Amino acid sequence: MVWSTTSWPDLHLVGAAAGAICLSRTRESQTARIDNVTDWGLDQFKKHYEPGRAKAKRSITKDAIFHYVYGVLHDPVYREKYAQNLKREFPRIPFYADFWVWAGWGQELMNLHVGYENVAPAKLKHTDRTDENAKQSGTSPKVLLKADRETGRILVDSETTLAGIPAEAWEYKLGNRSALEWILDQYKEKKPKDPTIREKFNTYRFADYREKVIDLLARATTVSVETVRIAEAMRQAQR
């Protein structure tokens, strides 16, 4: 999986048994900010796309290379062709025919993935019904957080259902799960096995985040659909 963030992520962002590799645009030394896209790297791109160094209409920059790489790492054709290599070694970046098209896709994807909290939420059908058992007992509705791909629904809890999720939204995956399913799993209530931790620190309750999660799922639906749309454009461009 590949993802972007404006903050340093947790080492195990990608899973408890795996370590995330973070490639930042720049890094800091004691005296200066260092560019992680090297001059040598920039020179390789310029040699390939600007042969003879004739005056280009649009000069390649390090930011553009950063976006280009992000785009390539989302290319479904690249990911399928080099699936076994990507499991064992660091990605190698090919030179595609139109640099600026891929850099544009990469920038669009990065804007979506970094700014997911600010994209327009998808217009999902929000259905509520009263959970009589919870009402009578004075407790919160039963937490479900289950996805039903076939019907395009998410069962939030025993009172709320989100419907109208496009089929393509499930296709955007972070690892082996869709982004939507990843969110559902992260917000489930899980009882710690350690009794001390369970007694003193088990304070998370889904009810406290319910509205936030519903909003997040709607925005993640938009991000997922748009990501799949761009990935399909990448596939079509190589036919």
pLDDT value for 176: 85
Query: Do residues 61 and 138 both lie within one domain?
Result: no
Q: Which pLDDT tens digit goes with each residue over 50-101?
A: 887 556 678 999 999 999 999 999 999 999 999 999 989 999 999 999 999 9
Alpha helical stretches, state H, 124-209: 132-137, 179-186, 195-201
Residue 5 within a domain: no
Q: For position 32, what pLDDT does the model report?
A: 93
Q: Identify the pLDDT of residue 58.
A: 85
pLDDT of residue 133: 87
Please identify, among 47, 82, 114, the residue that sits at the C-terminal boundary of a domain: 114
Q: What is the pLDDT of residues 193-203, one digit of tens each?
A: 999 998 999 99
Same domain, 156 and 76: no
Q: Which of 114, 137, 166 is the last residue before a domain boundary?
A: 114
**7 part of a folded domain:** no
Is residue 14 included in any domain, yes or no?
A: no
Bridge partner list, 26: 35
Residue 54, pLDDT score: 59
pLDDT of residue 222: 98
In a domain, 101, yes or no: yes
DSSP codes, 95-117: --S-HHHHHHHHHHHHHHHHSTT
Cβ-Cβ contacts under 8 Å for 17 (sequence gap 6 or more): none
Kindly state whether residues 229 and 161 are assigned to the same domain: yes
DSSP string, 136-200: HHT-PPPEEEEEETTTTEEEEESSEEEE---GGGGG-EETTEEHHHHHHHHTS----SSHHHHHH
Asked if residue 196 is part of any domain, the answer here is: yes
Q: What average pLDDT does this structure show over 152-170?
A: 96
Do 60 and 156 lie in one domain? The reply is no
- Indicate whether 132 and 221 sit together in one domain: yes
Q: Which CA distances in Å does 113 have to 63, 64, 120, 195, 223?
A: 17, 17, 13, 37, 7
Q: Are residues 87 and 132 in the same domain?
A: no
Say yes or no: 98 and 155 in one domain: no
- Write the pLDDT tens digit of every residue in 112-152: 999 999 999 999 999 999 988 888 888 889 999 999 999 99
Task: Give the domain range for residue 60.
Answer: 26-114
Q: Is residue 135 domain-shared with residue 218, that is, in the same domain? A: yes
Region 184-199 average pLDDT: 92
Q: Residue 197 has which token pair? A: 């931790």
Residues 54 and 100 in one domain: yes
Does some domain include residue 157?
yes
Of 114, 142, 175, the residue at which a domain comes to its end is 114
- pLDDT score for 9: 85
Q: Cα torsion at 163, 212, 210, 7 (round to 10°)?
A: 110
- Arithmetic mean of pLDDT, 16-25: 86
Integer distance in angstroms from the first to the last C-alpha of the chain? Answer: 24
pLDDT value of residue 31: 92
For residue 11, is it within any domain? no
Same-domain pairing of 160 and 221:
yes
N residues, the chain: 239
Is residue 76 packed enough to be buried (19+ CB in 10 Å), middle (13-18) or exposed (0-12)? middle
Same domain as 170, residue 92: no
| Domain count along the chain | 2
